[in-house]
Amino acid sequence: MVLHFLVKGRVQGVGFRWFVHREAAEIGLRGWVRNTADGHVEIVAAGKPEELNDLKTALHKGSRGSRVDRVLEHELEENEGANLGPFEIEGAW
């Protein structure tokens, strides 16, 4: 299963991408997380439905210092996850 999340709130400049990376890697998901130009955080994650549900729960909770106002989610086609590798932060450097 492959899901796309868009997290809105105070999620940039507060370690949110690192929080997502840690959570997703511990769960064993494949995919990536990155900031968007309009102040949100975008995530694409692939894994088992129960693993993705664990990530979704973590996204709603957020990192220390963040404020999650909304988590938008939609399912992607399974083939969109075919080239996803170990979970990474895009644009972190």
Q: Is 34 a catalytic residue?
A: no
Selecting among 17, 34, 67, 70, the annotated active-site residue is: 17
Selecting among 35, 53, 64, 79, the annotated active-site residue is: 35
Residue 6: HSE in the Cβ half-sphere, 13 Å Cα cutoff: 8
Q: Is 17 a catalytic residue?
A: yes
Task: Give catalytic residues, as residue numbers.
Answer: 17, 35
